[in-house]
Structure 1
Amino acid sequence: MPLLSDLKVVEWSTWIAGPGCAAVMADWGADVIKVESAAGDATRTFWPDTAECPGNPIFSCENRGKKGVVLDVGKAEGRAALIAILRDADVFITNVRPGALKRARLDYEALKDELPRLIYANVTGYGLTGEDADTPAFDLTGFWNRSGVAAAINPPDREPIGSRPGFGDHVTALATLSGVLAAVHERARTGRGRQVETALMRVGCYALGWDLSIRLRNGEAMTAQPRASRPGAIAGYFRTKDQRWICVSQRSPADFGQMMRAIGRAELIDQPRCAAPIVDMAVVHEIRGILDAVFEALTLEEACALMRTTDIIFAPLASLDDVVGDPQAHAAGCFVETPDGWGGHFLAPAAPARFPGTATGPAGPAPKLGQHTRQVLIAAGYAPAAVDALIASGVAAGL
């Protein structure tokens, strides 16, 4: 039996963080209903979803396996329909901004007494309180920039680079999922639901926890440094003969000896100037220069083979093409076959955890806009004629 098959989840959100949380729950067996406006989630527009080009990869990644409902919750009848769908739901996930939720009387305070068992999850940019609680945010702004992540990652000697789309959103989706499942566990004991809230900014601060911990405790703001300024003689990125990169990470002083033996420079191990930790930057530059020359004479494949003779932590700087073709990525379960809604399948990123012995994965394709409106409203107690009337009035839409 699927892990979350006893949970009904209603998601009223767009873009990535809210939908992504609900998508993982759908992969794990929850009955997930996605509520959209007649315009649809903005991610529907990124790629066509037609018989000639089936399966929008962006929308599918965040919405596979869900049922799709279209409601105009700004109208009284649409709000009432959403409440009807929520009456037997376990979880409600929304990233609608706090002010809009309050105006629609769909915020937690408006629903908690009517739906006391409901777990209500707010996915926000900057939280539910404070002067910027209603400020719009993407992960690029709330997670990447305002949390301090970008300033810590980008060396100060160059123009900052932004995050890739959805990067912080997916971290926030997992944070939301953990909070929701904690609330589900609590409800099993208390019988009552609760509010769960995540913020892109707060999740970014948690992701930057080491640097932020040092700043909070010691007042020191750590940031990435230009290569010439970084300590750690054997750590960092090294370019190979075929213009690729390999990343080496040092975990203990013993790694220096391993590396020197691997490259045939064991005579350096016992020299006092190379004793750990190497604090003389001239020595750091000397050792790094030796390693630069070694790796520049090797292809990436040869460099990886050299590193595998040691127990030093390393990895190639893999392109997306490398990852898709990497047998270990497939063995680790990084990809999953996803229905495209047109009778075919395609590979997509898998949910980030799996459960050996239990099948998880997409229960179906991402829904067409309004595909399940009739089915869901009838299950919520509406007569077929009443559903027809809602669709005719524009309050709902369905295929």
Structure 2
Amino acid sequence: MQTMQGIRVIEVAEWTFVPAAATVLADWGAEVLKIEHPEHGDGIRGLISSGIVPGAAGANFFVEQQFRNKKSVGIDISTETGREILYRLVEKADVFITSMLPDARERFGITFEDIRKVNPKVIYAKGTGYGPKGPDSRRGGYDGLSFWMRGGPAASMTTPGEPFVMQRPAFGDFTGGMFIAGGIASALFHRERTGEAVEVDVSLLGQACWMLSPDMVASMLYGAELPKGNLLGAPNPLVAPYECADGKHLQIMMLQAEKFWPQFLDAIELGHILEDERYDTPEKRAAASLELHTTLTEHFRTRDRAVWMAALQPTDCIFGAVQSPLEVAEDPQVAANQYILPVDHPEYGEIRLTSSPVQFGGEPVEIRNAAPEVGADTELTLVDLGCSWDEIAAWKEKNVIS
């Protein structure tokens, strides 16, 4: 179900944070025109050739994942003619989305005021590192810095005295893209109801504050950082990953330990513990949590994970396999819900991409086209705009478009 069908989005953004938001809108059915430099395109296209990211058969997984369902329009907006072409596209757009820094927005004539002069009804959305106000509002940022390091997740997830845990590629960008997409959807709804087009702003730093809100609010209330450590010896032994005989791990996740305790022990053949007076109340179990962790750790190591999962399956217990990304890709639950979808690629054949997570009407996202090459849709887009072939040829001659 394409809930954004009929909405046109102009994307003037690079890398992943803001383009990921446009990908979500495209998945929901919006027509997304990705404006790229006519020669080198979005900077993320160069990650393979520059050696920063290893490529598989030449494929750039960033490009394939976040450029799908979009059209690439090559325009040099640093030129006056390029900006005039962009403005003509904006005239017929519903959303303008950008990741450009304030200086670049001013230089290219794409500030909120510039775009609003062209189309007063357009939703103007921007993704930034640090928000629209404050001493660092004009500074650049990436998710590895603005979100992960400065925003707190790295410090929160790193064991004291150990090197900082590094985030996975674009981890903050893809989650942040969902926030931007949600903000745009809300702004479109507001415009539909009131006629007013509002500006949308999401920052990587603000996103980190929201995602770490339990830590931050607790720390502010208590006046100290929350303690860090592993789950060994935590009050509830039913919230922990346990290693099995085959080296695989099983996550037990029962926050209401009292509710699940009897059936859990019976399922894993430790029912005799129910008769042990050392553990016959929640208070006693909390006091003896280290002993229980040790007992469960040793017990789970006696059989393979599949055996334990089969034993727990008939119960109401909350549990699951600890999986790598490649294992998740083959998870039958992922397949059943079509969280990974195939797409025919003109160069690589069938490839699989992850779906954006929101589904409407029980239908999965539709991937209508693979990631386009730079400027692949320029000519048809400009013809649809009413430009003549003579104009297009002249602009190509001047390297304004590709």
1:142-157 equivalence runs, <5 A: 142-157=146-161
CA gap 1:311/1:157 in 2 versus in 1, 3 angstroms: farther
- Which residue number corresponds to residue 344 of structure 1? 349
After TM superposition, the structure 1 stretch with the greater mean CA deviation from structure 2, 71-80 or 284-293, is 71-80
Aligned to 1:11: 11
Give the conservation status (yes or no) of the 8 Å contact 1:234–1:287.
no
Q: Which residue of 2 aligns with 1:245?
A: 249
Structure 1 pair 116/248, CA: closer, same or farther in 2 (3 Å)?
same
Name which of structure 1's ranges 324-333 and 149-158 shifts more when overlaid on structure 2: 149-158
Residue 5 of structure 2 aligns with an amino acid whose one-letter code is S
Where do 5+ consecutive residues of structure 1 fail to align?
Answer: none
Superposition deviation, residue 9 in structure 1: 0.7
Cα distance in structure 1, aligned partners of 2:138 and 2:249: 42
Q: Which residue of 2 aligns with 1:44?
A: 45
Is the counterpart of residue 173 in structure 1 residue 191 in structure 2?
A: no
User: Is the counterpart of residue 127 in structure 1 residue 131 in structure 2?
Assistant: yes
SS in 2 for 1:123: strand
Distance apart, 1:273 and its partner CA: 5.1
Report whether the alignment pairs 1:24 with 2:24.
yes
Q: What SS does the aligned partner of 1:113 have? A: helix
Residue 103 of structure 1 corresponds to which residue in structure 2?
Answer: 107
Flag the 1:305–1:200 CA change in 2: closer, same or farther, 3 A.
Answer: same
- Does residue 221 (structure 1) correspond to residue 203 (structure 2)? The answer is no
Deviations 1:68-124 (A, max 9, x none): 111111121111111111111001111111221123221112322331100011011
Residue pair 1:149, 1:205 contacting (<8 A) in 2 also: no
Does 166-175 or 348-357 show the bigger shift? Answer: 348-357
1:95 and 1:269 map into 2 onto residues whose CA distance is 58
Distance (whole Å) between structure 2 residues aligned to residue 108 and residue 61 of structure 1: 28
Structure 2 counterpart of 1:276: 282
Between the aligned partners of 2:229 and 2:280, the Cα distance in structure 1 is: 22
SS of the counterpart of 1:338?
Answer: strand
Using the size of structure 2 for normalisation, the TM-score is 0.91
Q: Determine the C-alpha separation between the residues in 1 that align with 2:163 and 2:119.
A: 49
CA deviation digits over 1:26-70, x for unaligned, max 9? 12211110001121112323458xxx9585432011011211111
Q: CA deviation at 1:228?
A: 4.1
Amino acid at match of 1:254: K
* TM-superposition CA deviations, 1:231-275 (whole Å, max 9, x none): 322321111111111111122122333333333333444636552
Deviates more, 1:243-252 or 1:255-264: 255-264
Q: Residue in 2 aligned with 1:376?
A: 381
Letter in 1 for 2:393: D
Instruction: After superposing the two structures, state which structure 1 stretch, 208-217 or 187-196, moved more.
Output: 208-217
Of 206, 211, 215 in structure 1, the residue corresponding to residue 210 of structure 2 is 206
Cα distance in 1, alignment partners of residues 145 and 114 from structure 2: 29
Match of 2:308? 303
1:230 equivalent in alignment to 2:234: yes
Q: CA deviation at 1:357?
A: 5.5
User: How big is each residue's C-alpha offset from its partner over 1:121-143, in whole Å with a ceiling of 9 and x where there is no partner?
Assistant: 10111111111122222211112
Residue 234 of structure 1 aligns with an amino acid whose one-letter code is L
Q: Note if contact 2:69-2:369 (Cα within 8 Å) is conserved in structure 1.
A: yes
**What are the ranges of 5 or more consecutive residues in structure 2 without an aligned counterpart?**
50-55
CA drift at 1:190 = 1.9
- The answer on 1:68 being equivalent to 2:72 is yes
Question: Alignment partner for residue 318 of structure 2, among 308, 313, 338?
Answer: 313
Question: What letter matches 1:392 in structure 2?
Answer: E
- Say which is worse superposed, 82-91 or 107-116, in terms of deviation: 107-116
One-letter identity of the residue aligned with 1:30: A
Alignment: residue pair count: 393
Alignment-mate amino acid for residue 401 of structure 2: A
- Secondary structure in 1 matching 2:342: strand
**CA pair 289-84 structure 1, distance change in 2 beyond 3 A:** same
Q: In the TM superposition, what is the alpha-carbon distance from 1:322 to its structure 2 partner?
A: 1.8
Q: Tell me if structure 1 keeps the 8 A contact 2:9–2:32.
A: yes
Computed over aligned residues only, the root mean square deviation of the Cα atoms, in angstroms, reads 2.3
Deviation at 1:164, TM superposition (A): 0.5
Which digits, 9 at most, give the CA deviation of each residue in 1:306-335, with x for residues without a partner?
332432221111123322222211002211
> Secondary structure of the residue that 2:251 maps to in structure 1?
strand
1:272–1:291 Cα change, 3 Å: closer
Query: Quick one: which amino acid aligns to residue 240 of structure 1?
Result: C
2:52 corresponds to which residue?
A: none
User: For structure 1, which segment, 112-121 or 226-235, has the greater mean C-alpha deviation from structure 2 after superposition?
Assistant: 226-235
Checking the alignment, whether the CA contact within 8 Å between 2:337 and 2:364 is kept in structure 1 is no
Q: Any conservation in 2 of the 1:145–1:151 contact (CA below 8 Å)?
A: yes
The secondary structure found in structure 2 opposite 1:112 is helix
Match among 362, 366, 370 for residue 365 of structure 1: 370
Letter in 2 for 1:16: T
CA–CA separation in structure 2 for the residues paired with 1:153 and 1:42? 30
User: Is residue 67–residue 372 contact of structure 1 (8 Å, CA) maintained in 2?
Assistant: yes
TM-score where L is the length of structure 1? 0.91
Q: Tell me, yes or no, if the aligned pair for 1:151 and 1:223 is still in contact at 8 Å.
A: no
Partner Cα separation in structure 1 for residue 254 and residue 283 of structure 2? 12
Tell me the distance in 2 between the aligned counterparts of 1:72 and 1:348: 30
For residues 164 and 146 of structure 1, what CA distance do their matches in structure 2 show? 16
